[in-house]
Amino acid sequence: MFVPLEGSWALIFGVSSGMGKETARALAEAGCHIIGVHFDLAEGQQQAEQYAKTVGELGVEAHFFNRNVAAPKTRAELVPVIHDLTSGVGPRVVLHSVAYGTLTSLLPSAPGGGQDQDAVLPEVTPKQLAMTVDVMGHSLVYWIQDLVQASLLPRGAKVFAMTSAGGARVLSGYAPVAAAKATLESHVRNLAVELAPRGVAVNAIRAGTTITPALEKIPGNQKLIDHCRDINPGGRLTRTEDVAEAIVALSVSDSSWLTGNVIGVDGGEALVV
Amino acid sequence: MSGNPTAGVNREDLRALIAEELELPTEEVTDEANLKTDLAVDSLTAMEVAVQLEKKYRIKIDEEEIKSLTTLATIHRLVSAKVETAR
């Protein structure tokens, strides 16, 4: 059964950029209030505050918090805020769209495997690897734990985690993030099973290559962009709007049966060679 | 306070702020302790320090400048210079 999103709440991690930002707008257009978490320096924070106003002008409440999503103190502070804002109901949609990690290779190497010897990527350090997997992978689990503990993940809720083709394939300069995405996809499957009795669905969204600030930080991104634009059977790259629309569409059902999947939103990009 | 050159950035306040962010006793944050190599600060924790510095001192720090937040002494110089320019 389809249940309108109007008046429900969404909790978005990574709301100031890329997929999180666009999905906030799309959910707000569907009448969903937004609680957003992002982590930006002053310049980015000002832009995020401005964006919260823009989202609010769509006729919903929009509360953005500039906090480290992976810090326990952030959860300790925000879970009670989420309780109060949602009148104890909790969010109907949770989106994990967190892009903060180290972009390098496991061994020293040139980005793209190319000949550019001036731009050798350093090998990843234990600290970088642990931090990246923690922020982009494990943080989903810790938030879900705390939301469940606080009875803030109601029956019918939908949890989405943004993954990428790099979670199962190899992209130069992406190795730590690839590990985080593989971890995240595993967490999605396990959470889906563990949350099934509660009627909560958990899925990973595997967007095709999309031009976002996060993509622009990947070494050799232009090569990737050109390649994906070339091979995508839909004839173009994925847009943040494609992802936002898919999340809105999947959120309006109150069924929890579509769960535990990695759902491609890429126009078929990952299917072709 | 503005215009008073002695009302600059207090080094002990800075030490306390950094120690709190790193969850370390203040005495471990010595003037020359290297955040990365001595205090095990990663890029995410450095970002947390930067965000708190921006908030407390009402300054703006660029992403590239985070790498230069190496010791209390260098942070003190950077923040002081920014606070001074902002006046």
User: In this structure, is residue A111 part of a structural domain?
Assistant: yes
Around Cβ B29, how many Cβ atoms within 10 Å?
A: 23
Cβ distance of B44 and A70 shorter than 8 Å:
yes
Is A3 inside a domain boundary?
no
Q: Which residues of chain A from 51 to 80 reach within 8 Å of chain B, CB to CB?
A: 66, 68, 70-71
Q: Is the pLDDT of residue B50 over 50?
A: yes
| Assigned domain for A85 exists | yes
pLDDT of the residue at A273: 80
Let me know: does A139 contact A183? Beta carbons within 8 Å.
no
Residue B5 is predicted with a pLDDT of: 41
Domains of chain A: total: 1
| Average pLDDT, rounded, for chain B | 89
Q: Where are the domains of chain B?
A: 5-86
Q: How many CB pairs under 8 A join A and B?
A: 33
The predicted pLDDT at position A79 comes to: 98
A160 — contact with chain B (CB < 8 Å)? no
In this predicted structure, what is the pLDDT of residue B1? 45
pLDDT for B3 beyond 70: no
Residue A242, in any domain of the structure: yes
In the predicted model, residues of chain A with pLDDT beneath 70 are 112-118
Q: Among B41, B45, B51, pick the best mutation site for testing chain A contact (most A Cβ within 10 A).
A: B51
Tell me which chain A residues have a C-beta less than 8 angstroms from the C-beta of B50: 41
Residue B66 has pLDDT above 70, yes or no: yes
Q: Let me know if residue A1 belongs to a domain.
A: no
pLDDT for the residue numbered A219? 87
Whether residue B8 has pLDDT greater than 90: no
Residue A4 lies in a domain: no
What confidence score (pLDDT) does residue B79 get? 95
Q: Return the CATH class of domain B5-86.
A: mainly alpha
Q: Looking at the domain assignment, is residue A2 inside a domain? A: no
pLDDT, position B6: 38
Cβ neighbours of B47 in A, within 8 Å: 39, 41, 68
Note the residue count of chain A: 273
As a whole number of angstroms, the distance between CA A129 and CA A169 comes to 18
Do residues A19 and A243 lie in contact, with contact meaning Cβ atoms separated by under 8 Å?
yes
Residue A50: domain span: 9-271
Q: Among residues 13-72 of chain B, which lie with CB inside 8 Å of chain A? A: 40, 42-44, 47-48, 50-51, 54, 59-63
Please report the ipTM that was assigned to this predicted complex: 0.87
The alpha-carbon gap from B41 to the nearest alpha carbon of chain A, in Å, equals: 9
Q: Is residue A195 part of a domain?
A: yes
**Would an 8 Å CB–CB cutoff place B1 in contact with chain A?**
no
The confidence score (pLDDT) of residue B53 equals 96
**Does the distance separating the beta carbons of B40 and A41 come in below 8 Å?**
no
